[in-house]
């Protein structure tokens, strides 16, 4: 495709409203090659040459040299840079060199594992390995085939979920693998962050513990998108030292990356047209120009909405060439859509992050990102899905009406500079650690040597589990209570929720989907519009005891959005510092109650109604930062007749919106509370907390970079052209108080004074 020509045509079209605010032309790059310190086995070299690979990129050679000297390695280079060879080649070399060596590949999804299975078989070719010695092991594998995989496979490809509840609890059956495990490969390591990453870190520690039991100390090979802390992240995941490889030697084609800001529809409020309708417009334009496109949406619901919007804008002859694709679909439906896209029967897909990873769906020419994905790493991963063949490609980042997206629209240099985000996990979170200690006790009784593997206060966690009657101490070992059986089946490693709600089509009596209990009240409350494979359903009843939501097919022109209110109490102060005002970090208890939902018209986002809800509140302990407010700023606000509470509220919203700039997280991973008087501190306070029980490190990261957070927040609010505050600066779509009160002018006074004091405190 001629990306530049498409952009020129788009900009000159009558429908264009100056949405393109920046275009980065990324030039093509020639490859840089490297030489290995030792030659590969001739048979392996022959297989590479048969695939047209005559030399290795510099980062591939650097990684292999480190691996061959026994080091754990993480390779953090861009999408389509050939990271796969960094683990395939050492694995195959070891299999040729050592009679009984084994390797375990771990991928975040079953689909990616299946895709890499094909890749490995292609590289291995019949000369190196028979088909039976390479196998995927996941929930879709028939029971009849599993015994043969355990006995014969020398390379097993799986996912963290199957490792957690399928392999580790049954390690005796896998002893042949665990005794001779040479390499553990962890691909797409940047995905393992937050709650999921914290769970996976404990799963990997359980794996290391069992390997040690069988007398084996495997090496780790990790691959990741570009993040700010690859070495630290790999070490946090595994508990082992690592070398990092970050310089990319691969070739790449040119790319045009356009930042697209929806047009303003209300000058007074500075509100913009929906990013969803903009995505549908761009997708329809690309499809009409015969450009193979992947459009990303932030949620399952938006995937369905954008697909519907785009279909309505396409002529009937093209409308069938696009499809939604997301988690929640049955496996056979996902495979069918993947094959249709790969074979060219589909020209465009609208997807969640399910296709962010490197599943081979053929060569793509364009990607459309509906809203900033929450991290720079994920943005490049999604944009990098187009142009993998080396040709010209095009990517659009469509801004949503929130502080972080609008920050990037005004400061694209921050995004395109060498600034990347930190992947954060907290494997010591007791709400995550304790269930994994129970799993470990089932696998092998716990003793003092296990402190080598697990993070956090193991003694305190074990004492609590013993007090709860879930562990029993006998001499120097802790055993699982006989009342507990197979604890792994009760631990969902992708959330802190142990329970799910089911959504049932009441008209057909069939199961539609499952929803995690932690988010159920935000998605399947009575009156909610729930989308499933492009079809709309209205939730007619939510059974809180049986955890069942009944849904009826419906056809309405609106979608729904839940609202909640939050209260926070300080439990214990952990640390504090002074940046002109006191900043605190510690343990808090958060209580959230979903109180109502809004009906928003499709396309226009107009609020057409709001209805109350009567749902129970949910409380959880977590970590938070909070800070004092400067008296001088308070006095100025009062003297000017501005709303102090509104200024606090506006600061809270803006700071929460911009914190993901510094921590690899989603806006929904954090929450906040602001109050002119808090009963636990006796003063005005702004709190920012981790929205998960026990915390995952986001608020602590904010505590560490508080001055930078204030500075970026001030820039967002100051540069926004609105008069009184808008979604681009201080309004929040989740605000339980309907964004009242808000006072942008008061917020600016507070932020400027906070920055003045912070600068003064660092200069003295």
CA separation for the pair 324, 133 (Å, rounded): 35
Q: Is the peptide bond before 741 cis (omega within 30 degrees of 0)?
A: yes
User: Is the Cβ–Cβ distance between 434 and 413 less than 8 Å?
Assistant: no
Copy the structure tokens of residue 102. Answer: 């084994």
CA separation for the pair 606, 380 (Å, rounded): 32
- CA torsion, points 145, 146, 147, 148, in degrees to nearest 10? 50
pLDDT, residue 431, reads 84
CATH topology of domain 33-245: Rossmann fold (3.40.50)
Of 190, 246, 238, the residue nearest 211 (C-alpha): 238
Q: What are the residue ranges in the chain where pLDDT is below 70?
A: 125-127, 268, 327-328, 354-362, 388-390, 418-419, 496-498, 533-534, 603, 664, 736, 738, 763-764
Of 190, 191, 222, the residue nearest 83 (C-alpha): 222
CATH topology of domain 3-27+252-416: Rossmann fold (3.40.50)
Question: How is the beta sheet containing 510-516 ordered, strand by strand?
Answer: 510-516, 500-505, 548-553, 535-543, 529-532
pLDDT, residue 497, reads 62
User: Is the Cβ–Cβ distance between 234 and 190 less than 8 Å?
Assistant: no
pLDDT, residue 362, reads 59
pLDDT, residue 728, reads 85
Mean pLDDT of the chain: 90
Task: Tell me the per-residue pLDDT of 514-545, one tens digit each, with 9 for 90 and over.
Answer: 888 878 998 999 999 988 766 789 999 999 99
pTM more than 0.85: no
pLDDT, residue 385, reads 84
CA separation for the pair 714, 118 (Å, rounded): 50
Burial class (CB in 10 A: 0-12, 13-18, 19+), 677: exposed
pLDDT, residue 559, reads 87
Of 574, 577, 579, the residue nearest 695 (C-alpha): 574
């Amino acid at each position: 495709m001629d990306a530049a020509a498409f952009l020129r045509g788009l900009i000159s079209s009558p429908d264009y409203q100056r949405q393109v605010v920046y275009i980065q032309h990324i030039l093509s790059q020639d490859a840089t090659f490297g030489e290995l310190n030792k030659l590969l086995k001739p048979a392996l070299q022959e297989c590479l040459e048969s695939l047209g690979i005559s030399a290795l990129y510099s980062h591939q050679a650097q990684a292999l040299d480190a691996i061959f000297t026994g080091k754990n390695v993480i390779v953090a280079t861009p999408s389509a840079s050939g990271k796969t060879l960094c683990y395939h080649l050492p694995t195959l070399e070891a299999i040729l060199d050592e009679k009984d060596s084994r390797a375990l590949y771990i991928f975040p999804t079953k689909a990616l594992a299946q895709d890499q299975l094909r890749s490995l078989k292609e590289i291995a070719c019949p000369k190196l390995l028979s088909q039976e010695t390479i196998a995927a092991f996941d929930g879709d594998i028939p029971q009849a085939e599993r015994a043969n995989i355990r006995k014969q496979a020398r390379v097993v490809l799986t996912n963290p979920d199957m490792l957690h509840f399928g392999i580790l609890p049954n390690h005796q059956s896998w002893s042949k693998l665990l005794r001779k495990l040479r390499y553990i490969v962890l691909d797409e390591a940047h995905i393992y962050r937050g709650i999921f990453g914290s769970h996976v870190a404990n799963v990997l520690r359980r794996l290391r513990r069992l390997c040690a039991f069988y007398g084996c100390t495997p090496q780790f090979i990790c691959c990741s998108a570009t993040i700010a802390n690859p070495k630290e992240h790999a070490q946090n995941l595994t508990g082992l030292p690592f070398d990092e490889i970050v310089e990319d030697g691969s070739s790449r084609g040119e790319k045009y990356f356009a930042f697209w800001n929806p047009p303003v529809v209300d000058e007074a409020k500075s509100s913009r047209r929906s990013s969803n309708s903009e995505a549908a417009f761009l997708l329809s334009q690309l499809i009409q120009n015969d450009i193979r496109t992947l459009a990303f949406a932030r949620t399952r619901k938006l995937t369905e909405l954008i697909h519907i919007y785009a279909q309505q804008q396409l002529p009937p002859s093209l409308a069938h060439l696009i499809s939604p694709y997301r988690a929640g679909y049955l496996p056979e439906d996902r495979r069918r859509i993947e094959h249709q896209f790969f074979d060219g029967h589909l020209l465009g897909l609208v997807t969640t992050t399910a296709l962010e990873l490197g599943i081979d769906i053929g060569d793509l020419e364009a990607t459309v990102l509906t809203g900033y994905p929450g991290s720079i790493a994920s943005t490049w991963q999604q944009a990098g899905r187009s142009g993998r063949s080396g040709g010209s490609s095009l990517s659009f980042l469509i801004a949503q009406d929130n502080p972080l997206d609008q920050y990037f629209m005004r400061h694209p240099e921050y995004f395109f500079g060498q600034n990347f985000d930190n992947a954060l996990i907290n494997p010591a979170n007791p709400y995550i650690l304790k269930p994994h200690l129970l799993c470990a006790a089932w696998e092998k009784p716990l003793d003092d040597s296990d402190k080598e593997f697990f993070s956090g206060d193991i003694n305190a966690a074990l004492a609590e589990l013993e007090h709860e009657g879930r562990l029993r101490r006998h001499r120097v070992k802790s055993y699982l209570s006989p009342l507990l059986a197979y604890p792994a089946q009760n631990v969902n490693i992708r959330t802190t929720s142990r329970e799910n709600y089911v959504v049932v089509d009441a008209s057909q009596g069939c199961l539609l989907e499952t929803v995690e209990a932690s988010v159920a009240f935000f998605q399947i409350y009575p009156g909610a519009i729930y989308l499933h494979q492009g079809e709309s359903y209205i939730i007619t009843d939510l059974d809180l005891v049986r955890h069942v939501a009944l849904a009826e097919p419906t056809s309405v022109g609106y979608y729904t959005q839940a609202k909640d209110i939050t209260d926070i109490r300080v439990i214990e102060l952990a640390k504090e510092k002074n940046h002109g005002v006191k900043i605190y970090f510690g343990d808090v208890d958060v209580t959230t109650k979903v109180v109502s939902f809004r009906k928003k018209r499709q396309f226009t986002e107009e609020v057409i109604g709001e209805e109350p809800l009567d749902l129970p509140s949910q409380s959880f302990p977590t970590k938070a930062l909070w800070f004092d407010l400067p008296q001088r700023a308070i006095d100025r606000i009062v003297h000017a007749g501005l709303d102090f509470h509104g200024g606090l509220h506006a600061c809270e919203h803006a700071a929460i919106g911009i914190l993901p700039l510094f921590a690899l997280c989603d806006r929904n991973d954090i929450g906040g509370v602001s109050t002119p008087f808090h009963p636990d501190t006796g003063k005005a306070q702004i709190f920012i907390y981790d929205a998960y029980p026990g915390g995952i490190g986001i608020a602590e990261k904010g505590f560490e970079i508080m001055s930078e957070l204030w500075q970026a927040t001030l820039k967002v609010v100051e540069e926004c052209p609105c008069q009184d505050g808008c979604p681009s600066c201080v309004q929040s779509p989740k605000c339980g108080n309907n964004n009242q009160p808000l006072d942008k002018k008061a917020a600016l006074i507070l932020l400027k004074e906070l920055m003045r004091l912070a600068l003064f405190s660092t200069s003295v």
